[in-house]
Amino acid sequence: MDEKHGGFLHCFDQDGCRQAEKRRIQPGGGLKSVAGEFEERDLDELWKHSMGCAVAAQIISDKSGGVDRKTVLTAAILHDIGKVIMDLFFSREYAKTLTTVRNNGLSMAKAEENIMGFNHADAGGWFCDEIAFPSVLVSPISFHHNVDGVDKEHELITSIVHIADNLCKRAQIGDGGDDNKNHAINLHAQRLLNLNKDDLEKITGEESIYKSPTDMGVNRASAGIMDDKVIQVASHQEIIRRYFRCAVEYAMGLMDKDSVERAELIMEKVNAKVEDRRVVKPSRDAAVKANEEGKGNEGIFCGAAIELKDGTIITGKNSPLMHAASSLILNATKHLANLPEDMHLLPKNSIDSLTFLKKEVLTGKMISLDTEETLIVLGISAISNPAAQLAVEKLKELRNCEVHLTHIPTPGDEAGLRKLHVNLTCDPEFSTKSLFLRD
Ligand SMILES: [Fe+2]
Ligand SMILES: [Fe+2]
């Protein structure tokens, strides 16, 4: 049992039970006799909401099949039982929750989490589990606001209750405490039940707020925006990443000029510059430095840069032994593992052996190690070298980091970087002189 759960149930055992008992014995109290800060009207509205949810859930389950009708009905009626329980046992905090919902437009679940650290779905689930309800009822009660968290076995019934709950809120059938109509339907749940716009209209008996299936997706996305500033920054960065992708595809002959010009126009319109992507300039500077230091490989000077989770920028340059992306990944893992910059993680004899194989046996032109090869040699090196083992362990910290290369990656670099799950862009430049391009 987790700490929250234990703490919550403790209240049932002691003070909470005494408070509840006092209310329960009020003569002639009706519904109010089991309510804390909920007004009688609130309880009526919650009852209507629960009944509406039960009807909607039955319609959905008739369409989807695969679940017992009576079980769905029971789960839907009880899905918000946690609200009554929280109101009953934590009436002071719950009064604050109701005020927050009314004043700040938050959902009940969000306001409850902010104030009490758990929500009514958690409370309802814990309570029903404690009184030995079967898991087929506990799961939809616990996860009707978090379908992604439920186990596979109860995913269908939880999805039905989740969608029925949201449809009732949108159609304003009763009031679950928050009349915010913009509750987002979980996409996975909707797909699982194969519900389209017409189905939703039939269930609620009113025109859907969505104008088309595409509109359903767009509305859902906008409903999920909690912080507009964050979205603006992310959009700005995505526009730059897409511009680079267009420019590269055009350079490779995969896209027409019009598309690139459109991407440039969008960049202009939002006043975006490629340097707004933090990794672009450092990677270009690294390429210049490689040239100045006489490094590079056969007259080609490539640079690469990665932005780590803490904002640190690490760079890499190409050499006769290694591609820029390969040295970038090694440098980044050395930084994360606090290893000296000049430490060699890959054994020289392994590099020599691989180079011999590529050049002499396979008669390849490019013998320096690409990212995929580098990762393999690093993995082998980790067997006997603790520093390499440390570096290997740090590779997962590169996931979702931003990376820029001054040249189009080779297939081996692209495959290696894809496996690391970094967000990659590159300048539309080729890293070899051996090119054949159509007019
Ligand atoms: Fe709920
Ligand atoms: Fe609800």
> Cα(159) to centroid of ligand 2, in Å?
13
- pLDDT (0 to 100) of residue 220: 60
Q: In 3-state terms, what secondary structure has residue 191?
A: helix
pLDDT at position 358 over 90? no
Over range 105-120, report the average pLDDT. Answer: 87
The alpha carbon torsion through 176, 180, 186, 189 (nearest 10 deg) reads 40
> Cα(6) to centroid of ligand 1, in Å?
21
Over range 172-196, report the average pLDDT. Answer: 75
pLDDT at position 424 over 50? yes
Over range 102-127, report the average pLDDT. Answer: 88
> Cα(174) to centroid of ligand 2, in Å?
10
* Cα–Cα dist 161/73, whole Å: 9
User: Which numbered ligand comes closest to the C-alpha of 124?
Assistant: 1
The alpha carbon torsion through 389, 393, 394, 398 (nearest 10 deg) reads 130
- pLDDT (0 to 100) of residue 274: 95
- pLDDT (0 to 100) of residue 22: 43
> Cα(51) to centroid of ligand 2, in Å?
10
- pLDDT (0 to 100) of residue 20: 41
User: Which numbered ligand comes closest to the C-alpha of 112?
Assistant: 1
User: Which numbered ligand comes closest to the C-alpha of 179?
Assistant: 2
pLDDT at position 412 over 80? yes
* Cα–Cα dist 144/159, whole Å: 7
> Cα(79) to centroid of ligand 1, in Å?
6
Whether 37 contacts 94, CB under 8 Å:
yes
pLDDT at position 378 over 90? yes
Confidence of residue 182 (pLDDT cuts 50, 70, 90): low
> Cα(54) to centroid of ligand 1, in Å?
13
pLDDT at position 89 over 80? yes
Neighbours of ion ligand 1 (CB under 5 A): 80
> DSSP assignment, residue 131?
T
> Cα(25) to centroid of ligand 2, in Å?
28
Q: Which residues contact 236 (CB under 8 A, 6 or more apart)?
A: 270, 272, 276
User: Is the pLDDT higher at 200 or at 321?
Assistant: 321
> Cα(145) to centroid of ligand 1, in Å?
6
pLDDT at position 91 over 70? yes
User: Which numbered ligand comes closest to the C-alpha of 176?
Assistant: 2
> Cα(80) to centroid of ligand 2, in Å?
5
pLDDT at position 300 over 90? no
pLDDT at position 124 over 80? yes
pLDDT at position 8 over 80? no
User: Which numbered ligand comes closest to the C-alpha of 140?
Assistant: 1
pLDDT at position 35 over 70? no
Over range 246-258, report the average pLDDT. Answer: 89
> Cα(165) to centroid of ligand 1, in Å?
7
User: Which numbered ligand comes closest to the C-alpha of 76?
Assistant: 2
Confidence of residue 435 (pLDDT cuts 50, 70, 90): very low
Over range 384-388, report the average pLDDT. Answer: 93
Candidate CATH numbers 3.40.50.150, 3.40.50.2300, 3.40.50.1110, 3.40.140.40; the one for domain 278-426: 3.40.140.40
Q: Which two tokens stand for residue 207?
A: 């025109």
> Cα(255) to centroid of ligand 1, in Å?
48
User: Which numbered ligand comes closest to the C-alpha of 146?
Assistant: 1
Candidate CATH numbers 1.10.3210.10, 3.50.50.60, 3.10.20.30, 2.60.260.20; the one for domain 3-224: 1.10.3210.10
> Cα(428) to centroid of ligand 2, in Å?
52
> Cα(197) to centroid of ligand 1, in Å?
23
> Cα(144) to centroid of ligand 1, in Å?
6
CA triplet 79, 226, 195: central angle to 5 degrees? 50
Confidence of residue 59 (pLDDT cuts 50, 70, 90): confident
> Cα(79) to centroid of ligand 2, in Å?
6
Confidence of residue 374 (pLDDT cuts 50, 70, 90): very high
- pLDDT (0 to 100) of residue 340: 93
> Cα(161) to centroid of ligand 1, in Å?
10
* Cα–Cα dist 121/86, whole Å: 10
* Cα–Cα dist 324/304, whole Å: 6
> Cα(193) to centroid of ligand 1, in Å?
20
pLDDT at position 24 over 80? no
User: Which numbered ligand comes closest to the C-alpha of 121?
Assistant: 1
Q: Which of 126-140, 354-368, 408-422 has the lowest mean pLDDT?
A: 354-368
- pLDDT (0 to 100) of residue 304: 96
User: Is the pLDDT higher at 361 or at 426?
Assistant: 426
User: Which numbered ligand comes closest to the C-alpha of 47?
Assistant: 2
**Above pLDDT 70, what percent of the chain?**
83
> 297 - beta bridge partners?
300
Domain boundaries, the chain: 3-224, 228-274, 278-426
User: Which numbered ligand comes closest to the C-alpha of 145?
Assistant: 1
> Cα(112) to centroid of ligand 1, in Å?
11
Whether 306 contacts 417, CB under 8 Å:
no
The alpha carbon torsion through 261, 267, 271, 275 (nearest 10 deg) reads -110
Place of tokens 């980044």: 332
> Cα(102) to centroid of ligand 1, in Å?
16
> Cα(434) to centroid of ligand 2, in Å?
64
At 132, which amino acid appears?
A
> Cα(93) to centroid of ligand 1, in Å?
17
* Cα–Cα dist 408/139, whole Å: 49
Over range 284-291, report the average pLDDT. Answer: 92
The alpha carbon torsion through 115, 116, 117, 120 (nearest 10 deg) reads -110
What's the chain's average pLDDT?
83
> Cα(94) to centroid of ligand 1, in Å?
15
> Cα(34) to centroid of ligand 2, in Å?
19
What's the order of all strands across the beta sheet hosting 303-307?
Answer: 313-317, 303-307, 402-405, 423-426
Q: Which of 18-22, 178-182, 293-297 has the lowest mean pLDDT?
A: 18-22
User: Which numbered ligand comes closest to the C-alpha of 83?
Assistant: 1
Q: Which residues contact 389 (CB under 8 A, 6 or more apart)?
A: 382
